[in-house]
């Protein structure tokens, strides 16, 4: 397990320690739980967005006709 060093305001540190004590955990446990929940929420948001994007790709198809492109057509020099 990795260690993390943070620089935070003294008042914030005291407040966070009290919050951890009220929840019968440590400050480390409080931060670990917060970061875990944050990472899970971000992963969920990313999965939802990816699903919406895939839905858009499937729903919105564009047909350009029977034209087939050759390498020469795409890289034609003028």
Q: What is the pLDDT of residues 6-52, one digit of tens each?
A: 999 999 999 999 999 999 999 999 999 999 999 999 999 999 999 99
Q: Which residue has the higher pLDDT, 33 or 77?
A: 33
Asked whether residue 78 is domain-assigned, the answer is: no
- For 22, residues 6+ apart whose C-beta sits below 8 A from its C-beta are none
Asked whether residue 35 is domain-assigned, the answer is: yes
Asked whether residue 42 is domain-assigned, the answer is: yes
Mean pLDDT of 50-65: 84
Task: Place 67 in a pLDDT band, splitting at 50, 70 and 90.
Answer: confident
Tell me the whole-structure pTM to 2 decimals: 0.65
Report the domain count for the chain. Answer: 1
pLDDT of residue 74: 80
Q: Which burial class, exposed, middle or buried, applies to 25 when counting CB atoms under 10 A from its CB (0-12, 13-18, 19+)?
A: middle
Nearest to 23 by CA among 33, 36, 9: 33
Domain that holds residue 44: 28-60
Q: SS3 for 54?
A: helix
Asked whether residue 41 is domain-assigned, the answer is: yes
Check: CB of residue 39 under 8 Å from CB of residue 48.
Answer: no
């Amino acid at each position: 397990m990795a260690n993390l060093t943070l620089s935070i305001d003294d008042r914030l540190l005291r407040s966070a320690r009290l919050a951890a004590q009220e929840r019968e955990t440590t400050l480390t446990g409080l931060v670990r739980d917060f970061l875990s929940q944050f990472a899970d929420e971000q992963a969920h948001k990313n999965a939802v967005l990816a699903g919406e994007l895939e839905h858009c790709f499937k729903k919105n198809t564009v047909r350009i006709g029977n034209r087939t492109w050759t390498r020469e057509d795409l890289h034609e020099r003028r």
